[in-house]
A = this chain, B = another copy of it.
Amino acid sequence: MSEIESVEDFRARARAWLAENVPRLGPDHRGRSFVRPDDEELAEVAEERRLQRLLFDGGFAGICFPKEYGGQGLTREHAEAFDQELAGYAFPERLQVPNMTPCATVILEFGTEEQKRTHLPKILRGEELWMQFLSEPGSGSDVAGAKLSAVRDGDDWVLNGSKIWTTGAWWSDWGLCLARTNWDVPKHRGLTVFMVPIHQDGIEISRIEMLDGSNEFCQEYLTDVRVPDTDRIGGIDDGWTVGTRWLLHERSFSSSPYALHPTGSNSYGSAQGDPADNLLALLDSAGRVDDPAAREDVGRAYTLQVATSELDRRLHALILSGKGSDQLAAVGRLMHGVAGAQVATIAFELAGQSAVAGDVDDDVLGDLGMRYLLRQAGSIGGGTTEIARNVISERVLGMPRELALDRNVPYREVRTAPSGGSSGARR
């Protein structure tokens, strides 16, 4: 094995390359707004694919992915240095979660040599964009309760069923799909993971409208979709071995070295600028610079933001040092949900009446009402905070497991939610 470049050399090289090649974000860049016309969205995705290709060509894509699959074969410390240098630059935000992690990391961990050589370089070049076909209507937090079925037919599998809460399936290429291949064994023992091209005749994509009018989430209906057995990840009926790692990668996204998180970005890797600046701007717009209650709110929100990043840093160190189990990631996931909701609430309260009835052109305060309405989204998506609390109490602290009535029972006999194939998003 060859010597790897020192972190400091790498940092210097990254700094120079970024300054030369990558556009900087404007001073008033406020991150993605979630309600925009489709053509804008598509243009942004195209631009992010271009940025990813730029990183790849510059030798900075997939810093912790092995070289043989198109990555840089470097360490977590290199990834962190790059995150620090990346602050203030445009980067392919949509291509991080779930594309780089958990999708690409699952392929890296469980894929065959051929699967890895086929897909990982394309992902790192921005040519393939992956999404998770994981949740199902009616399964809620019980991911292993998947009912999308895969039936063996010769060298293929035939998939039928529905997946939901897939981000941007309509502009993505592949789905990493958890399917049920055996109904006669207990829940966790009858699952298998497949790689599925999204745009094909057997898959109908339906976009879900959120309460703010955005419709980035999708539901997919799969009808007789044929997948060759060579596109299976992991063993037949052994999908939960893959699934547990997959979920762990999902919970750990905020400290994953496989995804970019420019320093100063918010918990979802979205570039939001310095949180202090945003809070002070809000204080100013609300006309409350001299209001002690509002000033206290700014201090509280900033505390939560710093607390979130310092907690991430600590958990990451604990896990890395072996002093804490991987499951500690659930503590971070809980914090992101809880603190995110608290900060949204504080911002809403700072804005006062302008957040619910504001002038059409008030961009600072006018959005805060809608953001507040959506404040729980960060405590639901990517595994609910309830599941995180279960994981913390049971797997981190060793408290007794919840009674599961579906253990050791063939899955077809388990009572489940009334979901079927119909949209869980419809009432």
Chain B residues closer than 8 Å to A20, beta-carbon distance? none
Q: Answer whether residue A403 sits at the interface, using C-beta atoms and an 8 A cutoff.
A: yes
Q: How far is the CB of A59 from chain B (nearest CB, A)?
A: 54
Contact with B along A120-141 (1 / 0, CB 8 A): 0000000000000000000000
A292 CB–B CB distance under 8 Å: yes
Interface residues in A267-322 by Cβ distance below 8 A to B read: 291-293, 296
* Distance between A308 CB and nearest chain B CB, rounded to angstroms: 24
CA of A296 to CA of B349, assembled, Å: 15
Q: In the complex, what's the smallest C-beta–C-beta distance from A299 to chain B, in angstroms?
A: 12
Chain B residues contacting A296 (CB-CB under 8 Å) are: 293
Q: State A296–B293 Cα separation when bound (angstroms).
A: 9
**Count of chain A residues with a beta carbon within 8 Å of a chain B beta carbon:** 5
A224 and B421 CA atoms in complex are apart in Å by 68
Give A370 to B296 CA distance when docked, in angstroms.
27
Chain B: which residue is nearest A291 at the CB level? B292
A406 → chain B closest CB, angstroms: 15
Closest chain B CB from A262 CB (angstroms): 36
**Which residues of A from 378 to 404 have beta carbons under 8 Å from B?**
403
Q: Which residues of B contact A292 (CB under 8 A)?
A: 291-293
Give the docked Cα–Cα distance between A180 and B126 (Å).
72
Q: What's the Cα separation between A291 and B291 when bound, in Å? A: 11
- Shortest CB-to-CB span from A185 to chain B, Å, is 25
User: What is the CB-to-nearest-CB distance from A156 to chain B, in angstroms, rounded to a whole number?
Assistant: 43
Q: How distant is A405 from chain B, measured CB to nearest CB, in Å?
A: 11
Bound together, the chains give a CA A403 to CA B405 distance in angstroms of: 12
Closest beta carbon of chain B to A401's beta carbon, Å: 13
Shortest Cβ distance from A296 into B: residue? B293
Chain B residues lying within 8 Å of A293, measured Cβ to Cβ, are 292-293, 296
Please measure, in the bound complex, the distance between the C-alpha atom of A280 and the C-alpha atom of B403, giving whole angstroms.
Answer: 51
Smallest distance from the beta carbon of A233 to chain B beta carbons, Å?
A: 37
Closest to A295 in B: B293
> Would you give the shortest CB distance from A417 to chain B, in whole angstroms?
15
- A296 CA to B296 CA, complexed, in Å: 13
Chain B residues closer than 8 Å to A403, beta-carbon distance: 403
Q: Compute how far the CA of A296 lies from the CA of B403 in the bound complex, rounded to whole angstroms.
A: 45
Chain B, Cβ-Cβ closest to A403: B403
Determine how close the nearest CB of chain B comes to the CB of A283; give it in whole angstroms: 15
Q: How many angstroms from the CA of A403 to the CA of B403 in the assembled complex?
A: 9
Distance in Å from the Cβ of A330 to the closest Cβ of chain B? 24
Complex alpha-carbon distance, A296 and B292, angstroms = 11
What is the CA–CA distance of A403 and B404 in the complex, to the nearest angstrom?
12
User: Distance (Å) between the CB of A26 and the closest chain B CB?
Assistant: 37
Measured CB to CB, the closest approach of chain B to A28, in angstroms, equals: 32
- In the assembly, what is the distance between CA of A296 and CA of B297, in Å? 14
Q: How far is the CB of A242 from chain B (nearest CB, A)?
A: 32
Cα A374 to Cα B219 in complex, Å, equals 52
Report how far A292 CA is from B293 CA in the complex, Å: 7
Taken together as a complex, chains A and B put the C-alpha atoms of A366 and B296 apart, in Å, by: 26
Query: Considering the chains assembled together, what is the distance between the CA atoms of A293 and B292 in angstroms?
Result: 7
A217 to B305, CA, bound (A): 45
Render A177-219 as a binary contact track against B, CB cut-off 8 A, 1 for contact.
Answer: 0000000000000000000000000000000000000000000
Q: What are 6 A-B interface contacts by the 8 Å CB criterion?
A: A291-B292, A292-B292, A292-B293, A293-B293, A293-B296, A403-B403
Residues of A in contact with B (beta carbons under 8 Å apart): 291-293, 296, 403
List 6 A-B pairs, minimum CB-CB distance, nearest first: A292-B292, A292-B293, A403-B403, A293-B293, A293-B296, A291-B292
